[in-house]
Homo-oligomer: A and B are copies of this chain.
Amino acid sequence: MPGKRKLLSGNKIDPKPITGSISITELVDNNLLSYNGGRLREACRLFTEKILQEDVTVGMSLSGALTPAGLGISALIPLIENGFIDWMVSTGANLYHDTHFAIGLSMHRGRFDADDVALRKEGIVRIYDIFFDYDVLISTDDFFREVLKAPEFQREMSSSEMHFLVGKYLSEREKLLGTEKKSLLATAYQYGVPIYTSSPGDSSIGMNVAALALKDNQLKFDVSLDVNESAAIVLEAKRTGGKSAAIILGGGSPKNFLLQTEPHIQEVLGLQEKGYDYFIQLTDARVDTGGLSGATPGEAVSWGKIDPAQLPDSVVCYVDSTIGLPILAAYAMAKHSPRKPKRLFDHRNSLLKKIEAEFREKFGNINLK
């Protein structure tokens, strides 16, 4: 423990007064000082000053109904266009609802305290305070089933490839309908950002794949490919002398999948590695109930998920992503020039071969026990 002088060496709490002409970056830098305000400032600065350096591979996980809330269009697409996200892990639901925007279907502001029995009777579906027509689901299901019957889907593939191929269709649909820049999947396709889902069966996308399977469609998810590809991306970042960052929106299975790349490398594949270098989480998950969603960067260190030496470069901000993400995105775009897209999707196969080779080199002649 340092002495009193050191302990009191942090900046004085003495912000400039807020005015009507203050900018977002000034507000963040000068007026978000303590508690979750302080954490949001730290997240903005960690993201902009360290994570967005060229040699950092940025993975982001999405959970919670973010695309229905417009955050795909608002923030995630601009972040990808600026080269600020290199790969993603998402719930299927975020990707399914993303599709609506590209194919011209609409979601609307509603009320969180609506009478759901009446909504059901009227054919309205509710996501908290968002309303949409039940037909939006039916039309989106039709879209997926039509697309997934195409020849290029008649095989086993990783979820990243499946999302890429769907993104291609959506990208064309966007052009046709004049709905450009509405779909995260389409943008990720254009920028070569691989998007994984940790739970491929768990969403309307997975349900449509399963329905088609009952009709002898050949599309299958190669779950192990997802696991190995995602670990390969993280390993490559480190083996080439770069750094890796985890940006976690929410928690849940996508958080676990993003972080498990390191235990996969170290504990399961037996390769030398130390963990993520940078960590930001915006979440409402509580720490004290013991779940992974709320698990701290410290706990992650004990698993090898975060490099112990880098623990100070970890921030958890307890704020709704619908507030925190727009601010983070606006701050980063104001303060940092675009990065050249890494187009990791194009390199999946070579990265996979590299991790496989390193693994075989180490355990080649022995049987995997």
Q: Is A349 an interface residue (CB 8 A)?
A: no
Contact between B334 and A211 (Cβ–Cβ < 8 Å)? no
Contact between A207 and B268 (Cβ–Cβ < 8 Å)? yes
Contact between A8 and B214 (Cβ–Cβ < 8 Å)? no
Please, which residues of chain B bring their CB within 8 A of the CB of A106? 8, 12-14
* Among all A-B residue pairs, the 9 with the closest Cβ atoms: A37-B322, A10-B109, A20-B333, A210-B227, A34-B69, A64-B291, A1-B118, A199-B199, A35-B290
Contact between B290 and A69 (Cβ–Cβ < 8 Å)? yes
Q: Is A238 an interface residue (CB 8 A)?
A: no
Q: Is A78 an interface residue (CB 8 A)?
A: yes
Which stretch, A166-174, A294-302, A339-347, touches the partner chain B? A294-302
Which stretch, A51-59, A120-128, A239-247, touches the partner chain B? A120-128
The size of the chain A interface, using a CB distance under 8 A, is 163
Contact between A253 and B199 (Cβ–Cβ < 8 Å)? yes
Q: How would residues 29 to 63 of chain A score, 1 for a CB under 8 Å from any chain B CB and 0 otherwise?
A: 01111111111100000000000000000000001
> Can you identify 28 A-B contacts, CB atoms within 8 angstroms?
A1-B121, A7-B122, A8-B132, A12-B108, A18-B78, A22-B24, A24-B27, A30-B74, A33-B74, A35-B69, A35-B128, A36-B288, A93-B256, A116-B302, A117-B298, A120-B304, A124-B302, A125-B302, A128-B290, A128-B295, A145-B369, A201-B227, A210-B228, A211-B368, A215-B368, A221-B223, A286-B286, A319-B319
Please, which residues of chain B bring their CB within 8 A of the CB of A122? 1, 3-4, 7
Contact of A260 among B7, B121, B207 (CB under 8 A): B207
Copies of this chain: 4
Contact of A17 among B181, B250, B322 (CB under 8 A): B181
Give the distance to chain B from A244, nearest Cβ to Cβ, in Å. 17
Q: How far is the CA of A10 from the CA of B224 in the complex (A)?
A: 36
Contact between B223 and A322 (Cβ–Cβ < 8 Å)? no
Supposing A18-B75, A289-B318 touch, asked if A131 and B223 sit within 8 A by C-beta, the answer is no
Contact of A302 among B126, B203, B295 (CB under 8 A): B126
Interface residues of A in 244-284 (CB under 8 A from B): 250-253, 256-257, 260, 263-264, 267-269, 284
- Considering residues A70, A91, A132, A202, which has the most beta carbons from chain B within 10 angstroms of its beta carbon? A202
Q: How far is the CA of A39 from the CA of B21 in the complex (A)?
A: 23
Q: Is A165 an interface residue (CB 8 A)?
A: no
Contact between B18 and A93 (Cβ–Cβ < 8 Å)? no
Q: Is A213 an interface residue (CB 8 A)?
A: yes
Contact between A210 and B264 (Cβ–Cβ < 8 Å)? yes
Contact of A127 among B114, B141, B145, B290 (CB under 8 A): B290
